[in-house]
Amino acid sequence: MELTAMTVGQYIELLASDAPAPGGGSASALCGAQGAGLVAMVAGLTVGRAKYADFEQDCRKAADEAGRLQKELLAAIDRDTEAFNGVAAAMKLPRETDAQKAERKNAIAEATLIATQVPLQTMRLARAALDVCQSIVGRSNPNAASDLGVAALNLLACVRGAQLNVLINLGGVRDEQMRERFRAESETIEAEAARLADDIVRSVRDSL
């Protein structure tokens, strides 16, 4: 059963169990999906209201983009668990002969590469959602301003959580240049996301 097809209660129960997955990567993606969903909600609460006509164009664009990112981040919940399961399956391959050992080693390396790329993509998506969030701060329904602050906090948690999942897998990435490229990109995204989230939350607090 796909994680995203579960009820909230089922998902949390599984997360809290001794099952190896879902773990932090899927939980991070869920934070991102919640953040993007909140941005879409605030934009939707602004569109079509005469008193916010000046914000109409910005919020229509934000609603569409946040909705797209929400779907991608939802999909990332299952992608992260699938990536983890891929590594686990590779680890269980037989290693009785030299040929089997070589095959297992290659399989683990390939699975670990995917397990690094998946949370890195989650970081990119959440970073993009923070841009959308910022675009309607002060240009959307003020009655839902706090929701944009909560969105930013969820998106930052997504970025930082996903980064931890990038970092824990880097040691298994064979290509040194690729490994350092992943590390550098994750650090850049985290720093940009932190600045954006801080700006958004500060602006929201000032408006309350």
Question: Cα separations (Å) of 91 from 18, 82, 85, 145, 168?
Answer: 19, 14, 10, 47, 16
SS3 content of the chain, % helix, strand, coil (to 5): 85, 0, 15
Structure confidence at residue 101 (pLDDT): 93
| Cα–Cα distance measured from residue 155 to residue 91, given in angstroms and rounded to the nearest whole number | 32
| pTM for the whole structure | 0.95
Residues 6+ positions from 155 with CB-CB distance below 8 Å: 31, 32, 35, 36, 126, 127, 129, 130, 133, 193, 197
Work out the mean pLDDT of the chain and round it to a whole number: 96
Structure confidence at residue 71 (pLDDT): 98
The mean per-residue pLDDT over the stretch 172-182 comes to: 95
Give pLDDT tens digits for 81-127.
999 999 999 999 999 999 999 999 999 999 999 999 999 999 999 99
Residue 23 CB: number of other CB atoms within 10 A? 14
pLDDT tops 70 at residue 166: yes
The answer to whether 104 and 96 are in contact (CB under 8 A) is no
pLDDT tops 80 at residue 1: no
Give pLDDT tens digits for 16-60.
999 998 999 999 999 999 999 999 999 999 999 999 999 999 999
Structure confidence at residue 136 (pLDDT): 98
The mean per-residue pLDDT over the stretch 60-67 comes to: 98
Q: Output the CATH code of domain 23-207.
A: 1.20.120.680
